[in-house]
């Protein structure tokens, strides 16, 4: 059975201080004359030369707690992944799962220098995080954003990362498909995912997926594999999502998502049955109804009973059919606080349109 695998590498280690491994010395390679390169080779070489110095190696130290014989043991772990330099002041984007729960984050640049990184902000819903290092501007080579909305299946793409710790490795492929979905570890769905056959392996997570201009059109995040190694199905978060998230993380350190005030629903084959509303939240103020609470007396004991037969059934938002809570929240979170959405509901057998004004976080 195929499965989605997040592609950071994690090792159990001793409690020794965290030190990044220096880049492996390589013999000099003579540059091929331009006349000897095919057009495809010339593009690939150009992409690598333009972007490889902006790809970093990320090493993390964390502690996992194991249970054995009723006792808890703290087990040091080291992880490794990739990232992309965003600007000359040291911001680096990577996957959230690469740096999740890390007690120490170390970033190694293309020149081999290592720098301790501090977390700027993270968005687990989109598996993205931004860290920052203090490094001289002349050591930082930002990778420019590209436009993932212009991608089409069949277009050539290039991935650079650190698979299995092999620094700044280039793989090439095509856009195999668009608009795939990926469920993250916190059970939210990322939509619009890019599928590529460029080889992506453990350690590639957080590295850039590039177009022929050397611009970042995605961030590699997962593979679909039976073995845990590349099987020609890699997944990347599109730049249309990543850029918006990253800019907000840098600006305020968190993602501010609008709220519709629907705390929980029951997913049915007919729609989303309201189970609980946020007290005095946008949905409740708009008139949506959840289960009716009743109390019944059984001797000296008072029992609370919730009658769901009177709860509203949500079937669409702004004319878009919703089948899961994630469908609803993903649409709402693409809006801004203060904007209105129209929920189409079924109440006592009748369809109604209810406008809801979204609020910001408390």
State the catalytic residues.
97, 127, 205
Contact 242, 128 (CB under 8 A): yes
Contact 210, 170 (CB under 8 A): no
- Bridge partners of 78, per DSSP, are 11, 61
Question: What does the alpha-carbon distance between residue 155 and residue 217 come to, in Å, rounded to a whole number?
Answer: 12
Q: Which residues of 338-352 are buried (b: 16+ CB within 10 A; e: fewer)?
A: eeebebbbeeeeeee
The secondary structure of 192-220 as a DSSP string is EEEEE-S---TT-TT-EEE-TTS-EEEEE
Q: What is the largest CA-CA distance in the chain?
A: 94
First to last CA, the chain: 43
Question: What does the alpha-carbon distance between residue 7 and residue 224 come to, in Å, rounded to a whole number?
Answer: 10
């Amino acid at each position: 059975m195929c499965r989605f695998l997040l592609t950071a590498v994690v090792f159990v280690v001793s409690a020794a201080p965290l030190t990044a491994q220096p880049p492996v010395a390589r013999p000099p390679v003579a540059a091929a004359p331009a006349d000897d390169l095919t057009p495809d080779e010339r593009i690939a070489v150009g992409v690598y030369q333009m972007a490889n110095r902006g790809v970093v190696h990320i090493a993390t130290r964390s502690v996992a707690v194991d249970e054995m014989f009723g006792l808890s043991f703290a087990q040091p772990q080291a992880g490794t992944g990739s990232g992309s330099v965003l600007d000359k002041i040291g911001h680096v984007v990577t996957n959230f799962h690469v740096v999740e729960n890390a007690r120490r984050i170390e970033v190694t640049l293309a020149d081999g220098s290592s720098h301790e990184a501090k977390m700027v902000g993270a968005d687990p819903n989109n598996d993205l995080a931004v860290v920052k290092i203090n490094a001289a501007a002349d050591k930082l080579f930002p990778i420019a954003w590209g436009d993932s909305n212009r991608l089409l299946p069949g277009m050539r793409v290039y991935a650079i990362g650190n698979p299995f710790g092999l620094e700044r490795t280039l793989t090439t492929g095509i856009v195999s498909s668009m608009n795939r979905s990926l469920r993250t570890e916190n059970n939210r769905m990322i939509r619009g995912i890019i599928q590529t056959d460029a080889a992506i392996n453990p350690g590639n997570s957080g590295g850039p997926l590039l177009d022929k201009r050397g611009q970042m059109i995605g961030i590699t995040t997962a593979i679909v594999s039976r073995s845990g190694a590349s099987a020609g199905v890699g997944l990347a978060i599109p730049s249309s999502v990543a850029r918006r998230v990253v800019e907000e993380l840098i600006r305020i350190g968190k993602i501010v998502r609008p709220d519709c005030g629907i705390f929980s629903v029951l997913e049915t084959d007919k729609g989303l049955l309201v189970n609980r509303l946020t007290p005095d939240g946008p949905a409740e103020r708009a008139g949506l109804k959840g289960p009716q609470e009743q109390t019944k007396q059984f001797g000296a004991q008072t029992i609370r009973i919730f009658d769901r037969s009177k709860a509203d059934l949500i079937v669409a938002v702004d004319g878009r059919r919703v089948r899961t809570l994630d469908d609803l929240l993903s649409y709402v979170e693409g809006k801004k606080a203060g904007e209105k959405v129209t929920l189409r509901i079924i109440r006592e057998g009748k369809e109604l349109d209810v406008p809801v004004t979204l609020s910001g976080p408390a």
